[in-house]
Amino acid sequence: MSERIPILRIGETLVVSVQSDLEDQTVLNLQEDLAEQIVAKSARGVIIDISALEIVDSFVGRMLATVASISSVLDARTVVVGMRPAVAITLVELGLSLGGVSTALDLEKGLEQLRRPASSALR
């Protein structure tokens, strides 16, 4: 049986903390669970904390973009927090653009970003 990533709620925001390398089925479960939770909890924002990830490959990059797209379709904004410098460099080197994904240094800054109106959040 594949692992499920816990989804926490802080007000109108769902927080996903990725603590380990992701397998295909775990990502599919996360996408499904997150979509269900956005609707069930009327979430307006999603924060994905990747501070525990040492490395990111194209699979994880695509997963982040897909989760952001799903959230956007369900009227929730996505912020990725805790990205390490090496991870940012890898994403750029792989040519991965995280369209629709905002970033912040940590959870606190991610929550601040989601509190701002959508038009001013994209700087």
The number of CA neighbours under 13 Å toward the Cβ of 53 is 25
The pTM of this model reads 0.87
Q: What pLDDT is recorded for position 98?
A: 74
pLDDT in the model for residue 117: 81
Distance CA 61, CA 75 (A): 21
What does the pLDDT look like over 77-86, one tens digit per residue? 999 999 989 8
For the stretch 14-56, pLDDT in tens is 999 988 777 888 888 999 999 999 999 999 999 999 998 887 7
Q: What is the largest CA-CA distance in the chain?
A: 42
User: Could you give the strand order of the β-sheet that contains 77-81, starting from the edge strand earlier in sequence?
Assistant: 7-10, 13-17, 45-49, 77-81, 101-104
